[in-house]
């Protein structure tokens, strides 16, 4: 498969997915995927655990990011063992930071922050690569080139967050301001693309009081912007322009993060005019630029998308991506802020041997007909 065909297939798949998702996911029925009964209450009622589409899309986006990392790392000849090791270390840092940073900034439990995870992961990644290269390079089958690796992770992150914003649409979180709060120019620009969330359990409804109100489609805009940046970054990477791929994806995604914060309501964010999340994005841009200058670009073999796809199409890699999906779904898909009450019953008319009540009554009547009747 050529590089151009690979990118064309990806772009077509995302275009089809977004066309459906932006219309469907704001609706009420696309929030809860399933409810699992846990404890039985009175009157035959069960209290349930809600499994959400938020978790489904978060798990899928994380698996996509990992899959893209394997493909791009494989395209430059990084060994599978090295990719496994770096992925596990990076996930440990990012998921821990995601919980810790949101608690430090907002003092709220049961939440995750993608911005905080990206910030911590970006700071740690060059040194994690150095640690692996110096301590386990031979055991892993070779060292990991720093700048190409940073480019891989930044591109994979853009794919992951681009798809992951569908999770926010389904749950109604990370929502934008109402159109009435925007400037007249932005209001006109977004009036044809606004979101209207339905359902009292959407976060935009129970926290922002925005159910049924047209709001800025920040999540959809982020999805389109990030996937577009990811596709450009992938093209640059496959042309062996590693510095360009790194700086394009990281700078553009973080600049968008800074701007998109201005479109989001402040009811669920810090009330400061310039939020800590925007500050982290600025630091990330400055830091990654310094790293790009500090580290020379290591020589690698020419990039081959066919080699990357061969690396990904490995039973262990596929199972690893599935494991990532399951773990992330169990972390993010079990809703702690919504609940459910379940009631189960039997469809008596579908039970074998059951006769409708009318038929039973008619037969009972014939058994007691008066003598002499015909």
pLDDT tens digits for range 148-204: 999 999 999 999 999 999 999 999 998 999 999 988 898 999 888 899 999 999 999
State the distance between the two ends of the chain, measured CA to CA, in whole angstroms: 84
**Statement: residue 98 has pLDDT above 90:** no
More confident residue, 266 or 326: 326
Cβ atoms within 10 Å, residue 362 = 11
Give the span between the Cα atoms of 290 and 287, in whole angstroms. Answer: 5
Tens of pLDDT along 117-145? 888 889 999 999 999 998 887 788 888 99
Q: Is 308:75 a contact under the CB 8 Å cutoff? A: yes
pLDDT at 329 > cutoff 70: yes
Q: What is the pLDDT of residue 357?
A: 55
Q: How confident is the model at residue 69 (pLDDT cuts 50, 70, 90)?
A: very high
Cβ-in-10-Å burial (0-12, 13-18, 19+) of 185 comes to: exposed
pLDDT of amino acid 355:
64
CA dist 34 and 324 (Å) reads 20
| Residues whose CB is less than 8 angstroms from the CB of residue 157 and which lie 6 or more positions away in sequence, other chains included | 65, 118, 121, 249, 253
Average pLDDT over residues 252-269: 82
Task: Please check the confidence at residue 302 and state whether its pLDDT lies above 60.
Answer: yes
């Amino acid at each position: 498969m050529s590089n151009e065909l690979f990118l064309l297939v990806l772009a077509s798949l995302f275009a089809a997915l977004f066309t459906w998702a932006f219309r469907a996911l704001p609706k009420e029925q696309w929030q809860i995927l399933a409810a699992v009964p846990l404890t039985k209450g009175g009157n035959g009622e069960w209290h349930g655990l809600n499994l959400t589409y938020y978790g489904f899309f978060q798990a899928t986006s994380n698996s996509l990011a990992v899959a893209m990392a394997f493909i791009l790392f494989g395209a430059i000849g990084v060994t599978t063992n090295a990719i496994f090791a770096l992925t596990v270390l990076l996930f440990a840092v990012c998921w821990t930071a995601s919980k810790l940073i949101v608690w430090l900034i907002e003092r709220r439990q049961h939440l995750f922050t993608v911005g905080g995870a990206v910030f911590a992961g970006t700071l740690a990644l060059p040194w994690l690569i150095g640690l692996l290269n110096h301590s386990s390079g031979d055991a892993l089958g070779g060292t990991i080139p720093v700048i190409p690796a940073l480019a891989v992770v930044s591109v994979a992150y853009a794919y992951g967050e681009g798809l992951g914003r569908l999770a926010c649409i389904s749950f109604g979180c990370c929502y934008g301001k109402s159109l009435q709060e925007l400037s007249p120019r932005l209001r006109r620009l977004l009036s044809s693309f606004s979101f209207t969330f339905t359902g009292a359990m959407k976060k935009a409804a129970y926290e922002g009081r925005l159910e049924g109100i047209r709001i800025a489609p920040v999540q959809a805009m982020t999805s389109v912007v990030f996937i577009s940046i990811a596709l450009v970054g992938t093209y640059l990477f496959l042309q062996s322009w590693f510095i360009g791929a790194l700086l394009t994806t990281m700078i553009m995604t973080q600049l968008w993060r800074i701007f998109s914060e201005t479109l989001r309501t402040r009811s669920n964010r810090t009330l400061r005019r310039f939020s800590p999340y925007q500050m982290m994005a600025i630091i990330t841009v400055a830091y990654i630029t310094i790293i790009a200058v500090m580290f020379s670009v290591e020589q690698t073999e020419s990039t081959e998308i066919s080699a990357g796809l061969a690396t990904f199409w490995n039973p262990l890699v596929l199972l690893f991506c599935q494991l990532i999906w399951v773990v992330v779904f169990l972390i993010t898909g079990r809703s702690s802020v919504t609940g459910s009450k379940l009631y189960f019953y039997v469809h008596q008319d579908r039970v074998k041997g059951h006769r409708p009540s009318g038929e039973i009554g008619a037969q009972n009547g014939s058994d007691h007909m008066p003598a002499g009747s015909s």
